[in-house]
Structure 1
Amino acid sequence: MSIEVSALSGEDILSILPDLARLRITVFRDWPYLYDGSLEYEETYLAKFAAAKGAVCVVARDGDLVVGASTGAPMVEHADEFGEPFRAAGYDLDKIFYCGESVLLKSHRGHGLGHKFFDLREGRAHALGGFTHSTFCRVVRPDDHPLKPEDYIPLDRFWARRGYAPVPGLTATYDWKDVDQADETTHTMQFWMRAL
């Protein structure tokens, strides 16, 4: 499998937004996000990301097909519901780089792309300068959730090997519609962080 990985920034990000929207809807539909997304929402959400100063989108291509993508930007450029828990805990948002989604088709997992996604996003933070920490968040779901696959393996060990750890009490909430729900519900997101 020959996969090309590149990092896009500035206006170059605009060209990848339709593929990123498609990947987010496809990948996040599965456990643990169970996201019942729409292109309309994705266009609005991703337009804000693309306009963020210092943003990066790491893209994985298998030939002409975009099979994965991963985003990052300074925390100050993200929605208040993500930055507020850090502010309340006494962190300087100007020093935190936020790694957003990593979405990769199942057919292309297990080839080291997760590491490349983190390498290039953390590299962007170093290139911009001034960041002391990198962070991301994951949805919190109960272990006995009826839609949890029996063979599900969480990514906790992978993230720990990258130097990330969950920060006790550092959570945010975000609303979206689950695939098995009629309306949007509130989801808790746990932040993981590492020093840069």
Structure 2
Amino acid sequence: MSAVEIRPVSGIAVEPWLDELADLRIQVFRDYPYLYDGSPAYERDYLDRYARSEQSLFVLALEYNRLIGAATALPLLDADPEFQVPFAEHGPDAGRVFYFGESVLLPAYRGEGVGHRFFDLRELYARDFGFDYTAFCAVVRDDDHPQRPRDYRSLEPFWRKRGYHPEPALTTRFPWRDLGDEQQTEKTMQFWLRDVTLVEDA
């Protein structure tokens, strides 16, 4: 862990890292539960939305200047429309929500506290900019999914320990192609929410 540097950057300042971040997303999200068969071109388009947001945040984890992990966030109103619709229908107001795009980290560096740093910095940033809520969404897979590894450990206990809870009314559908499939299929994405106004600085 001593060689890992955590570096927050915002907006277009992340441009030098976008190709590495696109590759990292593809690599990490190939694993269950996402099973994502991604492409560099799509990833760059997706990440460009974050880079264009004036209040976006990229928390980079670097080892000797090599990207080994990253977490992203931006105002929900700057995110893809699919992620805004559930909030427009069920609340809270999307303008009060700072949305966490992803946390990706190479397996060799997990369990060393990097994930907590990803959340710490994004939540701090959200409060500093006056947002009331932080939120992210996670894919919903059946427990008996044929590609679920025997040793799979859900991140739900980690998220709950961080103060997040799933909001049953806040779900969306998002398409991608699973590994081994020929076509895209829509997946259910469940939103998890935290009221950061209730958090006191340590």
TM-score (norm 1): 0.97
User: Which residue in 2 is equivalent to 1:185?
Assistant: 185
Query: Which aligned runs of 4 or more in structure 1 are off by greater than 4 angstroms?
Result: none
Does residue 1:53 correspond to 2:54, yes or no?
yes
Whether the 8 Å contact between 1:9 and 1:56 is mirrored in structure 2 is yes
Partner of 2:199: none
After TM superposition, the structure 1 = structure 2 runs for residues 22-101 of structure 1, keeping only pairs within 5 Å, are 22-101=23-102
SS at match of 2:16: helix
Give the unaligned 5+ runs of structure 2. Answer: 197-202
The Cα of 1:134 is off from its aligned counterpart by: 0.5
**How far did residue 53 of structure 1 move?**
2.5
> 2:148 aligns to what SS in structure 1?
coil
Residue 146 of structure 1 and its aligned partner are, at CA, apart by 0.7
Paired residues for 1:3-14 under 5 Å: 3-14=4-15
Whether the aligned pair in 2 keeps the contact of 1:53 and 1:74 (CA below 8 Å) is: no
3-state SS in 2 of match to 1:29: coil
Q: CA deviation at 1:37?
A: 0.2
Instruction: Provide the C-alpha distance between the structure 2 equivalents of 1:102 and 1:22, rounded to a whole number of angstroms.
Output: 14
Q: Deviations over 1:12-69 (max 9, x none)?
A: 1112111110110000000000000000111111111211230000000111211000
Count of aligned residue pairs for this structure pair:
195
Q: How far apart are residue 90 of structure 1 and its match? A: 3.0
Kindly provide the CA deviation profile for residues 126-167 of structure 1, in whole angstroms up to 9, marking residues without a partner as x: 1212x1111000000011111100000000010001000001
Does the CA-based 8 Å contact 1:3-1:60 persist in structure 2? Answer: yes
Amino acid at match of 1:52: S
Partner SS for 1:43: helix
Mapped partners of 1:175, 1:19: distance in 2 = 23
Tell me the secondary structure at the aligned position of residue 7 of structure 1. Answer: strand
Partner of 2:145: 145
- Work out the percentage of aligned pairs sharing the same amino acid: 47
Q: TM-score by structure 2 length?
A: 0.94
CA contact (8 A) 2:11 2:50 kept: no
Q: Within 1, Cα distance between the matches of 2:27 and 2:91? A: 36
1:109 partnered with 2:110: yes
Give, in angstroms, the shift of residue 180 of structure 1: 2.1
Over aligned residue pairs, what C-alpha RMSD do you find?
A: 0.9
| 1:159-192 Cα shifts (integer Å, max 9, x gaps) | 0010000011210111001002111100000000
Name the structure 2 match of 1:158: 158
CA distance in 2, matches of 1:69, 1:178: 22
| Residues in 1 aligned to 2:91 and 2:36: alpha-carbon distance in whole angstroms | 31
Task: Say if 1:53 and 1:77, in contact at 8 Å, map to a contact too.
Answer: no
Separation in structure 1 between the aligned mates of residue 11 and residue 48 of structure 2, nearest angstrom: 12
Range 25-34 or range 91-100, more displaced: 91-100
SS of the equivalent of 2:143 reads coil
CA distance in 2 between partners of 1:78 and 1:10 (Å): 14
**What one-letter code is carried by the residue in structure 2 that aligns with 1:72?**
A
